Chain A
């Protein structure tokens, strides 16, 4: 979002009044600062009560409590007073551990110890946020069992803190692809009553060393696949407490010839939501 290409691609949508809400991945701005145009855009949606916050780098399920996480929490305390956020979200999984400094969030299995850790860390976030706090499902899983029980894990983490779920449909799509599951197998028992926000995005295929089949990853760098839109149509009627649906795209992956297809994805999404 901070990249100018993102604004170039989405400006006609803002000009037409089509964008009902924006989400700010606030911790991406802590290191590099926030440009003037982005500050203005975020401030405008904040004043209208149409801004949500999305943390990326907390690393909820890192086992050790580090100085980095403590620092993140301190900055989060400042962030929640900076704008009028509708709610905040973070990611399931961990992205740092020991000398493993940073990656895409990785999963952990559902165990008594990991659940206890997840509940404690999520409660810390919820205690800071003056608005509802939510958790996003993860694209990656280490086994089909991990994929199938992730929603149970998420529900058990957020429920004691009265939290909610952010349902990322491309992450669901990644698991359908990577574990050869049908939507029913992954979604029939999903705690849809906890879903307050949905993410829709594209991603990419990457080769693996251990298989001839590529894996699907949530890289936010391509157009939205039709299969993800069909998932949106599938889940919308099942989410009674849904507040907002966002289209995600990394600005630095948008070239000028892709602006049209980006806006087309936005309109398709909006149309499905309007009819859902």
Chain B
């Protein structure tokens, strides 16, 4: 959905961030709301097209380039076991405390 340049500009200025949309705003406009930091100026990221098979090794994929349901489930379970084993070796930090002192619940 395209937002108008005015809407984008107002949002950027009221949030106190620099953005392309706020380009026509004066430096004083942005300074007045105490900008926190400049937005990342990295080049736009190109969308990546991914399907299930992109997440698994070639060995997991059938000759026709598709995973059978059984292969998918077996591969998935193996990957999860690996991830858990990796996570078990990591020393975990104290759970984060959310901004309103909710003890690291996230939202769900």
A residues with a Cβ closer than 8 A to B are 3-4, 7-9, 11-12, 14-17, 19-21, 25, 31-32, 35-37, 40-41, 44-45, 48, 50, 56, 91, 102-105, 136, 138-139, 168, 171, 176-177, 180-185, 199, 203, 205-207, 212-214, 216-221, 225-227, 229-230, 233-234, 248, 250, 252-253, 256, 259-260, 263-264, 267-268, 270-272, 275
Contact = CB atoms under 8 A, between A and B. Distances in A.
B15 to A, nearest CB: 4
B90 to A, nearest CB: 7
A275 B39 contact: no
Contacts of B15: 4, 7-8, 35-37
A15 B47 contact: no
Contact of B83 (A21, A138, A227): A227
Contact of A219 (B46, B76, B104): B104
Nearest to A48: B1
Given A226-B55, A248-B107, A268-B50, A206 B92 contact: yes
Interface residues of B, number: 58
28 contacts: A7-B11, A9-B40, A17-B3, A20-B1, A37-B11, A48-B1, A102-B102, A102-B105, A168-B108, A176-B77, A177-B83, A180-B81, A183-B72, A213-B88, A218-B107, A218-B108, A219-B104, A219-B106, A233-B51, A250-B106, A252-B98, A253-B96, A259-B40, A260-B42, A264-B45, A264-B48, A267-B45, A268-B47
Interface of B: 1-3, 7-8, 10-12, 14-17, 19-21, 36-37, 39-40, 42, 44-52, 55-56, 69, 72-74, 76-77, 79-81, 83-84, 87-88, 90, 92, 95-96, 98-100, 102-108
B84 A7 contact: no
Contact of A177 (B7, B11, B17, B80): B80
A104 B103 CA distance: 8
B106 A7 contact: no
A207 B84 CA distance: 11
B76 A176 contact: yes
Nearest to A168: B108
Contact of B107 (A31, A56, A182, A207): A56
Nearest to B42: A260
A36 B12 CA distance: 10
B47 A271 contact: yes
A104 B69 CA distance: 33
B76 A227 contact: yes
B106 A267 contact: no
A271 B17 contact: no
Contact of B106 (A4, A213, A220): A220
